[in-house]
């Protein structure tokens, strides 16, 4: 007979499981290819019960991105501590892994997903999202050995996300781009970002 009542502890545990399973699936097969049904079935609950935790898939996605942030920082730290990698190689390997998200177990939003999430977030939730996002990119720069002010963090965020979304948008979302040069485009973008980061590393933040 199905359980009809859940304690607060049960609900907290199930919510945590949903977020963890959502991140696991999204980081492996991509956010677009992960369905709500896949998530709640793997956790072992009903569709109706899932929606008592998250009103939409986008609400779940936001929580998975928050859960992913410390994992990303840990990955950065691992690369930066690798004696076999130069500073530039470690940084580029990290950025490259983010651009090819699901191939490296990292969930990355497409342009369409960013638009959907932006529409779903309340003004307050959007501010929280931005604060967490900027804190993440600031922490990444810190682990790169770069002292950064707000302006540097903002620019690094935009440059990084540009490379990530462009690679994921070619050719479906950006059909007039040349798909045969997609990987070379990302490589050129990352090299340009690395040049800026190297300059910042040598120059204290204003």
90-122 pLDDT, tens digit each = 999 999 999 998 888 999 998 999 998 898 888
Q: Hey, what are 177's tokens?
A: 């781009």
Exposed, middle or buried: residue 31 (CB in 10 Å: 0-12, 13-18, 19+)?
A: buried
Indicate whether 36 belongs to any domain: no
For residue 4, the model assigns a pLDDT of 58
Measured in whole angstroms, the distance separating CA 136 from the mean position of its chain's CA atoms is: 10
For residue 204, the model assigns a pLDDT of 81
Indicate whether 23 belongs to any domain: no
Q: Distance (Å, rounded) from C-alpha 88 to C-alpha 39?
A: 38
Tell the residue number behind the tokens 């950025």, with chain if given.
95
Q: Distance (Å, rounded) from C-alpha 152 to C-alpha 154?
A: 5
Indicate whether 35 belongs to any domain: no
Count structural domains, the chain. Answer: 1
The contacts of residue 65 (CB under 8 Å, 6+ apart) are 107, 109
For residue 6, the model assigns a pLDDT of 83
**CA-wise closest residue to 36 among 9, 58, 67:** 58
Indicate whether 113 belongs to any domain: yes
Q: Which domain holds residue 160?
A: 61-202
Indicate whether 9 belongs to any domain: no
Indicate whether 26 belongs to any domain: no
Q: Distance (Å, rounded) from C-alpha 157 to C-alpha 169?
A: 18
Q: Which segments within 79-176 are labelled E, that is strand?
A: none
For residue 121, the model assigns a pLDDT of 87
For residue 206, the model assigns a pLDDT of 75
Q: Distance (Å, rounded) from C-alpha 110 to C-alpha 167?
A: 9
Per cent of the chain over pLDDT 90 is: 83
Indicate whether 14 belongs to any domain: no
Q: Please state the pTM of the whole predicted model.
A: 0.90
Indicate whether 65 belongs to any domain: yes
Query: What tens-digit pLDDT sequence spans the chain (206 residues)?
Result: 355 578 899 999 999 999 999 999 999 998 989 999 999 999 999 999 999 999 999 999 999 999 999 999 999 999 999 999 999 999 999 999 999 988 889 999 989 999 988 988 889 999 999 999 999 999 999 999 999 999 999 999 999 999 999 998 999 899 999 999 999 999 999 999 999 999 999 998 77
């Amino acid at each position: 007979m199905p359980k009809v009542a859940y304690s607060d502890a049960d609900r907290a545990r199930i919510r945590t499981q949903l977020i963890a399973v959502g991140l696991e699936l999204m980081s492996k097969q991509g956010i677009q290819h992960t369905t709500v049904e896949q998530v709640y079935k793997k956790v072992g609950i009903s569709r109706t019960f899932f929606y008592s935790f998250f009103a939409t898939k986008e609400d779940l996605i936001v929580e998975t991105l928050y859960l992913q942030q410390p994992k990303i920082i840990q990955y950065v730290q691992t690369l930066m501590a690798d004696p076999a990698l130069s500073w530039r190689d470690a940084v580029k390997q990290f950025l490259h892994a983010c651009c090819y998200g699901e191939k490296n177990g990292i969930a990355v939003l497409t342009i369409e997903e960013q638009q959907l999430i932006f529409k779903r977030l309340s003004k307050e939730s959007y501010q929280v999202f931005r604060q967490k996002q900027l804190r993440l990119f600031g922490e990444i720069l810190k682990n790169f050995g770069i002292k950064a002010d707000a302006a540097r963090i903002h620019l690094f965020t935009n440059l990084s996300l540009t490379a990530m979304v462009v690679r994921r948008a070619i050719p479906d979302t950006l059909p007039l781009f040349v798909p045969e040069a997609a990987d070379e485009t990302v490589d050129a973008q990352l090299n340009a970002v690395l040049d800026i980061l190297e300059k910042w590393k040598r120059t204290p933040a204003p």
